[in-house]
Amino acid sequence: MCGSGCGCGQDHCWHEYPERGWIQFLILRLLYEKPSYGYQLMETLEEESCGCHRLETGSMYTLLRRMEHRGLLESAWERAETTGPDRRVYKVTRMGTEALRSGLESIVKRKAMMNDLTNFYKKNFMKTREGGEKPDV
C-alpha cells in the first residue's frame, strides 16, 4: 500500500509525488467541485491552469478511463438536454476524494518546506555587504 494510506494497493501513487501527476490531480480537484463530461473538463482544465495544461481529446478520455479503472472516478451516461449526443459525466469517488485530500496535504507540507528554504535563501544569500557586494557563495 502507498504511504498516503489511500488503499490503492500500489507501492507508489501519483498523489505521493504530485509533480508526477498534476493533470490527474487537477482533474480530481475540478470534478470534486463539479461533476463534468470530458470535453467540458478539457476546457475547464486549460482555463484553470492558465493554458499550461491542454490535452488532446484522446488523451483526456484515456486518462479518465484509467482514473475510473483505478477507482478514483465513476461515470454515468446522461441524456443530452438538446439535440446533441448523450454525455458520460464523471464524478469523484470516495477513493478519489481521499487521494485528493492526501495530495493536498502533501502539497501543504512541501509548500512549508519551500517557504523555509526561500526564507533561508533570502536571509543568507540576498544580503548585500557594505559597498553593494553579495556574500560569497
Summarised one tens digit per residue, pLDDT across range 18-55 is 455 778 888 999 999 999 998 899 989 888 877 777 77
Any domain includes 71: yes
Lowest pLDDT segment from 45-49, 123-127, 128-132: 128-132
pTM for the predicted model, two decimal places: 0.69
**What CATH number does residue 60 fall under?**
1.10.10.10
CA distance 89 to 93: 13
Q: What's the mean pLDDT when you consider all of the chain?
A: 81
Residue 126 lies in a domain: no
Identity of residue 37: Y
Distance CA 96, CA 110 (A): 21
| 137 vs 107: CA distance, rounded Å | 30
Is residue 4 within 8 A of residue 106, CB to CB? The reply is: yes
Domain that holds residue 51: 21-120
Is position 115 within any domain?
yes
